[in-house]
Amino acid sequence: MPQHIDTPTAADLPRLLAVWEAAVRATHDFLGEDDIQFYKRMLCEQYFHLVRLDCLRDAYGRVLGYLGTAEDRVEMLFVDPQVHGRGIGKALLRHAIEQRGARLVDVNEQNPRALAFYLSQGFRQIGRSPLDGADKPFPLLHLRLDD
């Protein structure tokens, strides 16, 4: 299926949120409903505005996944769980590395699939924080791309 990466528009924001929520519910079983609603609100109110967003679309223009970068860091990468395992995350990460200069990413310690994904793409752990960026007790592993 042909795919392309571009910049999402304001009209894409509901789809980005839907992808985020579906992905989080599929992969972040350590989050409670209150946590999910908190982070969803933060995405809309703050996080989307702090990053450069890129999305991967199918041949029909439907967003299958997206990433947000800031400087040399991947701040978010989410893929619709209906297309997990089809190379969408790899394509987005490759775009972040090659086009956005990304070399760093934080991953939830309680999300072993995400950790395995980044390690398989050449990242290695360089640190750990007991709290996430919102000061919640969800430890983060700090990863750097091996050059």
- What pLDDT is recorded for position 44? 87
Q: Where are the alpha helices (DSSP H) in the chain?
A: 13-27, 33-45, 88-100, 112-120
Query: Domains in the chain and their CATH numbers?
Result: 3-103 (3.40.630.30)
The token pair at 136 is 């919640």
Q: What percent of the chain has pLDDT over 90?
A: 88
- What pLDDT is recorded for position 133? 87
CA distance 65 to 5: 9
Q: CA 77, 79, 80 angle in degrees (round to 5)?
A: 150
Q: pLDDT per residue over 47-62, tens digit each?
A: 999 999 999 999 999 9
- What pLDDT is recorded for position 141? 97
Residues of the chain with pLDDT under 50: none
